[in-house]
């Protein structure tokens, strides 16, 4: 696949290279090359799509969500719905979701990521179809997070189920229905005795003659 550079444009002080790529249906597509540095912890994006072996469906790899506080969110260029065509010149076309996550993780470890993305009518149509079919918080939705949040332990929007047990102190449990109430014991405290008072001895007067 041959990419022909057309023009360079300044965007918020960062250089974006625009190319033309031949789409799967013979349509010329405008794409962008985005460069990221200091990305050893990842971009902080959630991706969706890819080849689905169970159904044989093939979707592109899309940015499903940009995680707040991550590198991509702070940078501001990647958007939800962007189609990632390659990462560091490794194509994501036709790969599974797991393979795309692996490629993103490997690229982030190099501390430099170069993403070729498409943001056009064709990608928007496919992304809308993908989200309509698999966009809910379903465990089969093929949503993944790029390595940023994996390192911090935050798995935003990941479908998970957890069970929690709640222990209650016996004193807080209400009595069962139909059972007689437990009588409250009455304690009789001894009455404090009145302290005895010793009689006062009258003073003795001694006289000298």
- 173: which residues sit within 8 A by CB, 6+ positions away? none
**Each residue of 27-45: pLDDT tens digit?**
567 899 999 999 998 999 9
pTM over 0.85: no
pLDDT tens across 110-148, in order? Answer: 999 999 999 999 999 999 999 999 876 543 334 445 444
Domains of the chain as residue ranges with CATH:
36-149 (2.30.42.10)
Residue 2: the pLDDT is 42
Task: Categorize the per-residue pLDDT at 9 as very low, low, confident or very high, splitting at 50, 70 and 90.
Answer: very low
- CB neighbours of 44 closer than 8 A, spacing ≥ 6? 66, 67, 69, 70, 71, 72, 73, 146, 148, 149
Ramachandran sector of residue 101 (left: φ over 0; alpha: ψ -120 to 50; beta: rest): alpha
Q: What pLDDT is attached to residue 59? A: 94
Q: What is the DSSP letter of 141?
A: S
Spatial separation of the C-alpha atoms in residues 43 and 149, rounded to whole Å: 9
Is 81:63 a contact under the CB 8 Å cutoff? yes
Q: What is the pLDDT of residue 173?
A: 40
Q: How large is the average pLDDT for residues 61-83?
A: 95
- Helix H, strand E, coil C: the string for 30-83 is EEEEEEEECCCCCCCEEEEEEECCCCCCEEEEEEEEECCCCHHHHHCCCCCCCE
Residue from 41, 49, 47, 88 nearest 69 by CA: 41
pLDDT at 201: 54
């Amino acid at each position: 696949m041959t990419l022909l550079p057309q023009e360079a444009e300044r965007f918020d002080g960062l250089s974006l290279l625009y190319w033309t790529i031949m789409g799967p249906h013979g349509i010329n597509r405008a794409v962008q090359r985005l460069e990221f540095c200091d990305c050893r912890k990842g971009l902080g994006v959630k991706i969706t799509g890819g080849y689905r072996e169970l159904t044989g469906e093939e979707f592109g790899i899309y940015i499903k969500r940009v995680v707040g506080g991550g590198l991509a969110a702070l940078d501001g260029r990647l958007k939800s719905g962007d189609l990632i065509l390659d990462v560091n010149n490794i194509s994501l076309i036709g790969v599974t979701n797991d393979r795309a996550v692996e490629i993103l993780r490997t690229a982030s470890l190099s501390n430099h990521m170069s993403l070729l993305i498409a943001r056009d009518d064709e990608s928007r149509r496919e992304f809308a179809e993908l989200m309509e079919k698999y966009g809910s918080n379903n465990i089969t939705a093929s949503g993944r997070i790029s390595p940023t949040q994996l390192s911090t332990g935050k798995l935003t929007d990941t479908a998970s189920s957890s069970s929690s047990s709640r222990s209650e102190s016996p004193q807080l449990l209400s009595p069962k229905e139909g059972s007689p109430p437990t009588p409250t014991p009455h304690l009789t405290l001894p009455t404090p005795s009145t302290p005895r008072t010793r009689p006062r001895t009258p003073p003795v007067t001694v006289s000298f003659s």
